[in-house]
């Protein structure tokens, strides 16, 4: 389910499984259409569940967060259908940052000091008291763009006013600014067993040197070199308390947990939880996964994840996002796009904001293409990724030239 680069990567990986006889994508994109039959979908979760029941669909994998927060898993489970993704209640770890912060406090999960507000004046008064730098977050879903890292009080106040002055009743979280290295740890869980995937690092800012506006993510590298013992600490102090705490409150979480972490001098602290694969981290992680993704999803859904060993290729990967000019505010659509044929063991192209026009492939969104390089190490993976970028015909494409540089 979905139509972005993350979903193309999931579709590509699922298509390799010997267990799969028929594969559908709802609504899909031109890249996914080469692997699966695309099904028109208007976003109605109950309608899709009814279609899946009629078609005898035996497993559904959900890419984006929106349908999860709307209750797609609940709609499928009510009909006895297997779905890889958390229920609506469980997905609120992403659907509401205020809810997620409440869980972290209750379960003793390390995170930044924070306060939630729905009143503008209260929030502005709090900012005056704490000062800058400070982080302001839209509590609801914002496609990765609802965060302002404010270096001045004026910038913070503007962010608060922008979110809380809208017509809808909004909520914000204001939290302390944390410094350190940012890392993403994804894990799969069946509500009891937790298995972390390889750590990765996203690049959220639009421009080189981590400057410019926040985006959904401009690239990722995998694996991120964590210090020895740190993954065990993250599982024990972050992931396990979350899964066990939710279960104790009657919420069995099945699917992917995304932990966005800051590696501070005081240890790892949670920046955010998400209820699905990261985008673009997924596009960097899945090419390194040796285990059958369908087997993995079934083990999660059927509550037998403890039986499965997750195996990885001894490689590194780097994903570079190519975005349309004007992204993130006003991306240009309809620009021609041409993809070369490069060795798939070295370079992969996952399509995101594309559509098939009369003359061929054209842009149809902000983040258009994910170019993934694979290599023996990160240096070779990056070299191949940027070779792949240079070979694409896409005029005025926006992309960062420093993905992975901090790790190198």
Segment 15-69, tens digit of pLDDT: 999 999 999 999 999 999 999 999 999 999 999 999 999 999 999 999 999 999 9
Q: What is the C-alpha separation between 253 and 232, in angstroms, rounded? A: 20
Q: What is the C-alpha separation between 179 and 370, in angstroms, rounded? A: 28
Q: Of 84, 71, 74, 70, which is closest to residue 13 (Cα–Cα)?
A: 84
Mean pLDDT of the chain: 95
Q: So what's the pLDDT on residue 157?
A: 92
| pTM of the predicted protein model | 0.93
> What's the rounded mean pLDDT across residues 305-329?
97
Confidence bin at 143 (pLDDT 50/70/90):
low
Residue ranges matching CATH 3.30.470.20 in the chain = 181-307
Q: So what's the pLDDT on residue 145?
A: 57
Task: Please count the residues of the chain.
Answer: 408
Q: What is the C-alpha separation between 394 and 28, in angstroms, rounded? A: 21
CATH 3.30.1490.20 for domain 113-176, yes or no, is yes
> Higher-confidence residue: 228 or 300?
300
Residue ranges matching CATH 3.30.1490.20 in the chain = 113-176
Query: Please, where are the H alpha helices in 356-402?
Result: 378-390
| Tokens encoding 260 | 């966005």
Q: What is the C-alpha separation between 275 and 312, in angstroms, rounded? A: 23
CA distances from 323 to 32, 187, 216, 244 (A): 19, 28, 11, 39
CB neighbourhood size of 16 (10 A) = 12
Lowest mean pLDDT among 64-68, 119-123, 201-205, 395-399: 119-123
Q: So what's the pLDDT on residue 293?
A: 98
Confidence bin at 255 (pLDDT 50/70/90):
very high
Segment 146-170, tens digit of pLDDT: 788 899 999 999 999 988 887 676 8
Segment 369-387, tens digit of pLDDT: 999 999 999 999 999 999 9
Segment 157-215, tens digit of pLDDT: 999 998 888 767 688 889 999 999 999 999 999 999 999 999 999 999 999 999 999 89
Residue ranges matching CATH 3.40.50.20 in the chain = 5-86
CATH 3.90.600.10 for domain 316-399, yes or no, is yes
> What's the rounded mean pLDDT across residues 132-147?
79
The CATH classification number of 181-307 equals: 3.30.470.20
Q: So what's the pLDDT on residue 250?
A: 97
Q: Fill in the DSSP letter of residue 235.
A: I
Q: Is 377 helix (H, G, I), strand (E, B) or coil?
A: coil
Q: So what's the pLDDT on residue 363?
A: 97
Q: So what's the pLDDT on residue 141?
A: 75
Q: So what's the pLDDT on residue 247?
A: 98
| Tokens encoding 73 | 């898993």
Segment 82-111, tens digit of pLDDT: 999 999 999 999 998 889 999 999 999 999
Q: What is the C-alpha separation between 52 and 50, in angstroms, rounded? A: 5
Residue ranges matching CATH 3.90.600.10 in the chain = 316-399
Q: What is the C-alpha separation between 11 and 16, in angstroms, rounded? A: 9
C-alpha 322 chain-centroid distance = 17
5-86: what CATH class? alpha beta
């Amino acid at each position: 389910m979905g139509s972005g680069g993350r979903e193309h990567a999931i579709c590509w990986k699922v298509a390799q499984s010997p267990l799969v006889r028929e594969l559908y994508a709802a609504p899909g994109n031109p890249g996914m259409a080469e692997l699966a039959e695309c099904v028109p979908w208007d976003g109605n979760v109950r309608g899709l569940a009814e279609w899946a029941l009629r078609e005898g669909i035996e497993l559904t994998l959900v890419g984006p967060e929106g349908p999860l927060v709307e209750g797609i898993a609940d709609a499928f489970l009510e009909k006895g259908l297997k779905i890889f993704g958390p229920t609506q209640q469980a997905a609120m770890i992403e659907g509401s940052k205020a809810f997620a912060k409440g869980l972290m406090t209750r379960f003793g999960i390390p995170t930044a000091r924070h306060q939630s507000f729905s009143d503008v004046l209260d929030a502005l008064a709090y900012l005056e008291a704490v000062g800058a730098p400070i982080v302001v977050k839209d509590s609801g879903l914002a496609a990765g763009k609802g965060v302002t890292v404010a270096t001045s009080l004026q910038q913070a106040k503007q962010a608060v006013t922008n979110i809380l002055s809208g017509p809808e009743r909004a909520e914000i979280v204001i939290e302390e600014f944390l410094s350190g290295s940012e890392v993403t740890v994804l894990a799969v869980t069946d509500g009891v067993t937790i298995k972390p995937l390889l750590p990765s690092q996203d690049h959220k800012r639009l421009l080189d040197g981590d400057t410019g506006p926040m985006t959904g993510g401009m690239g990722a590298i995998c694996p991120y070199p964590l210090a020895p013992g740190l993954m065990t600490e993250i599982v024990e102090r972050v992931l396990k308390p979350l899964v066990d705490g939710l279960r104790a409150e009657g919420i069995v979480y099945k699917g992917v947990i995304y932990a966005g972490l800051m590696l501070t001098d005081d240890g790892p602290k949670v920046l955010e939880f998400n209820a699905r694969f990261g985008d673009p981290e997924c596009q960097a992680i899945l090419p390194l996964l040796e285990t059958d993704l369908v087997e993995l999803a079934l083990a999660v859904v059927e509550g037998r994840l403890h039986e499965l060993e997750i195996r990885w290729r001894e490689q590194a990967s780097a994903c570079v996002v190519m975005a349309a000019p004007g992204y993130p505010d006003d991306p240009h659509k309809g620009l021609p796009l041409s993809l070369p044929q490069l060795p798939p063991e070295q370079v992969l192209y996952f399509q995101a904001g594309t559509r098939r026009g009369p003359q061929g492939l054209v842009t149809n969104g902000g983040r258009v293409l994910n170019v993934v390089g694979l290599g023996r190490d990160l240096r070779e993976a990056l070299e191949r990724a940027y070779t792949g970028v240079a070979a694409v015909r896409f005029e005025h494409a926006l992309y960062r030239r420093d993905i992975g540089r901090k790790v190198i």
